[in-house]
Structure 1
Amino acid sequence: MSFDEGAAAVHDVAGARWRMAVEEHGDLREAATRELADVLFASFPRRDQRRKGELYLLGSLKTQGRKSIRNIAAHMGGSAAEQSMHHFISSSTWDWKPVREALAGHLSRLSPPQAWVVHPMPIPKAGDLSVGVDQVLDPVLGTFRGQRAFGVWYASESLNTPVSWRLFLPDSWLRDETRRRQAEIPDGAGEETLEECAVEAVLDVLGSWKVPPRPVVLNAHVGHVTTTMGRFTRAGIPVIARVGDTVRFVVHDPALPGHAGGRLTAQQIAVAARGLRRRVGLTERSGVGAGSPGTLAVALSVEAVGPAAGRRRAGTGEEGGELVLLAEWHGTRSVPDALWVTNMTSMSTGALLRMAGLGGRSCRELAASGAEMGLRDFKSRSFNGWHRHITLASAAHAVSALIDAASRPSDYAHRSA
């Protein structure tokens, strides 16, 4: 299924269902919420839990401003509802994982995604109460106090919405037995790097959920290329990941004969290959630079620098394995604006850029509507509470995104014309 066919499928299927549901319920948000709630909360053993889940979901959509439990409960009956909802999120026993899998499965049945995107979400916090909070350095925000999480997004050109999350837990939370016990952090949660956290977020989804196998866009900078790319390749998962300027590779591409075998940074390789760039037009690329005539890009065969660099094992993605370094320029600078590495070695430059562009769409979607849907709004020491809240906030985001996609028929008509 093509990008445009997928967009049309989301519009046609969701739109037709909801037009019928609106006739029955009278409100599009309520109709869409009720339909999705029936799918999401099928794993709940009790009717009252299913009802609370639906009310929390609808309250998240109707609440203006911060999506705190108090503000959401205000739409459901005041202080009594607040106490009930607080227990439902922070102290109840329902498992969020089947809810997330049900959300991903529902979206995939409407239209299979083009990719699964992993995107970081920094969450600034003022105090020390929230689980996982720490003083951290973020490449965008700089030094700040807060949490860090990685979302796994269902991604297509018509719909981008998160379906799963992994919260990064600093050593200060994992090694402090008192903090760990108070936050009810599971025994199985161990120390990991941010890069490992991002990778585990999506491998857990693709390894245990019944969802369509699609390429992964790792929209977070990878530093340990050999290890990270090798994990995806051994699992048989196509992936394209961002890399920083200083990550080193061995050049194998015959288009750069003077650099063959040299260990150069990604930026040095891209600058050396400027003369090989070609313009990728809008028919091949959407997302970043969509308002410009096109993007300049080059794709080169490389090998990650590791202990076995130079002993190439084509197609393995392990030490010595074949990879492609993709560089893109949106302006006139000599250095590239973005660098990617991928194990999809046979894909065209335009197709790789279009795939990478889905990461940019998820980034813009998070910036535009993440606050509106309350993805960053939970404040509690409860590890389970954070996961339950963000699961329902993601479901609310999906309802809003589906309504928006189903309300743009002229957009699909224009794309398919």
Structure 2
Amino acid sequence: MTGTELAMSGTELSSTLFATFPRSDQRRKGEEYIRGLLATEGRKSIRNMAAPTGGSAREQSLHHFVSSSTWHWMPVREALAQYVARTVAPEAYVIRTMVIPKAGDNSVGVYRRYVPELGQIRGVQQAVGVWAAAQETSVPVNWRLDIPQDWLDNGLRRRQAAIPDSVREESPEESAVEAMLAVRDWGLPARPVVMDARDMDAMSVVRRFRSSGLRHLIRISGSLRLTPADPAQIGRATPEALPAQQIMAAAKLLRRPAVWRDHSPEHAMRTSLVAAVRIRGASRAPGMRGGGDMLLIGIGDSGKAWPSELWLTDLVDLSPVALLRLSRLIGRVDRDFSEISEQVGIRDYAGRSFNGWHRHATLASAAHAVAALDGTYGTYDEELRTGTGIRRTA
């Protein structure tokens, strides 16, 4: 389906997202906020979004709507996810971590950590997002904000940020799986989960997914120890646990060429080498198809060190070529995060409220959907900024 065929109006989406709002003024403010995220240049602070049309009065109104109002974000996210599922036909749900650098220490959940992308220790918020992803586009549909134990133990900070009593500290593995379980419970089409778990306890993620019946494709580090189900496949007589990198190096003769399309502006066709080795896995969850075995997938380029990527999956009924194409959806999400989510201000919330952060992330995800499905981010005219509807320019 082309970008034109996927085009939608923000008004149509807004009527879907805010159907649970009992008051018309809340529905109107929701539309205003999405318009502001799409039309405001630069940082998407509430002040910047309010400046062109209402000044301080509108700023106060939008601030209250996001930080102090009573509406809950989960029904809005569920409506967004269902809309995207109907429109995009996702091939997988991609889990992606989002790090938000912060200058101060008052933003909810902020803590100091080393940020590899910045090469320094910074104050940051960290969240995990679930994206409905297809080859042509992807949209974030759920978010989970990490709250460190120091915040939960500090009564004053917890009250000031209005952190609910139900919130507890979670490991990265728990956070990723819980974010996905919420999406599963919305009744969306069953699709595999794709994620990069190289910096996590990958086997913990695998066990959690398998116990929940979530089929998955996970990128792993070469040091993860696995046991080949058929030792002869890699030239060994008896099964023993070996680093994944060593297993796949021994499977070099199993490599086959696979053609895939990258997510560059040119959408170039590329060829990679792919090999699969069956691995002894955890016991299957009740009702899950197949046995406990999994596949270790190696991906590399001809003439370069083999393998350059390692993936572990319980999708044993898919071909290595199909698994390669699913793995490329991480690149699709990374590109859309940079070119759309960042541009509509997904990391720009400056308030201290836990609820405010989640409401902003939800509305920024909706703005991402408008831009991604219309395929026209940056071409909206003045009606987008000031009108009652959100539409594309011709």
TM-score in same-fold range (> 0.5):
yes
Which residue of the other structure, out of 55, 80, 83, is the alignment partner of 1:78?
A: 55
State the Cα deviation string for residues 259-311 of structure 1 (Å, max 9, x = none).
Answer: 752211122222222232211123xx54599646411121111135xxxxxxx
- Identity among equivalent pairs (%): 45
| SS of residue in 1 equivalent to 2:61 | helix
CA contact (8 A) 2:84 2:139 kept: no
Are 2:153 and 1:175 aligned? yes
State how far apart, in whole Å, the 2-side matches of 1:323 and 1:352 are: 13
Structure 1 102/334 Cα, relative in aligned 2: closer, same or farther at 3 Å? Answer: same
Which residue of the other structure, out of 170, 175, 187, is the alignment partner of 2:165?
A: 187
Deviation at 1:370, TM superposition (A): 2.5
State how far apart, in whole Å, the 2-side matches of 1:139 and 1:260 are: 40
State the Cα deviation string for residues 4-25 of structure 1 (Å, max 9, x = none).
Answer: xxx34x743x44xx5xxxxxxx
CA contact (8 A) 2:235 2:250 kept: no
Deviation at 1:223, TM superposition (A): 4.1
TM-score, reference length from structure 2: 0.87
Deviation at 1:341, TM superposition (A): 0.9
TM-score, reference length from structure 1: 0.83
User: What CA RMSD, in Å, does the superposition of the two structures yield over aligned residues?
Assistant: 2.4
Are 2:195 and 1:224 aligned? no
Give the structure with the higher percent helix.
1
State the Cα deviation string for residues 221-259 of structure 1 (Å, max 9, x = none).
Answer: 364344322332233321111212221111223421317
State how far apart, in whole Å, the 1-side matches of 2:167 and 2:46 are: 26
State how far apart, in whole Å, the 1-side matches of 2:298 and 2:285 are: 20
Are 2:228 and 1:251 aligned? yes
State how far apart, in whole Å, the 2-side matches of 1:355 and 1:219 are: 12
Which residue of the other structure, out of 261, 278, 283, is the alignment partner of 2:256?
A: 278
| SS of residue in 2 equivalent to 1:120 | strand
| SS of residue in 2 equivalent to 1:130 | coil
State how far apart, in whole Å, the 2-side matches of 1:245 and 1:139 are: 19
Structure 1 portions without partners, runs of 5+:
1-6, 19-31, 305-311, 407-417
Aligned length: 371
Which residue of the other structure, out of 127, 135, 139, is the alignment partner of 1:157?
A: 135
State the Cα deviation string for residues 360-384 of structure 1 (Å, max 9, x = none).
Answer: 2101211222221101101122100
State the Cα deviation string for residues 106-136 of structure 1 (Å, max 9, x = none).
Answer: 1122242111111111111111011111112
Structure 2 portions without partners, runs of 5+:
378-394
Deviation at 1:38, TM superposition (A): 0.7
Please list, as runs of the form range in 1=range in 2, the aligned pairs for 1:220-369 lying within 5 A after superposition: 220-221=197-198, 223-253=200-230, 254-258=232-236, 260-282=238-260, 286-287=262-263, 291=268, 293-303=270-280, 313=283, 321-330=292-301, 332-369=303-340
State the Cα deviation string for residues 19-38 of structure 1 (Å, max 9, x = none).
Answer: xxxxxxxxxxxxx1111111
State how far apart, in whole Å, the 2-side matches of 1:137 and 1:315 are: 37
State how far apart, in whole Å, the 1-side matches of 2:364 and 2:189 are: 23
Partner of 1:68: 45
Deviation at 1:397, TM superposition (A): 0.5
Partner of 1:214: 191
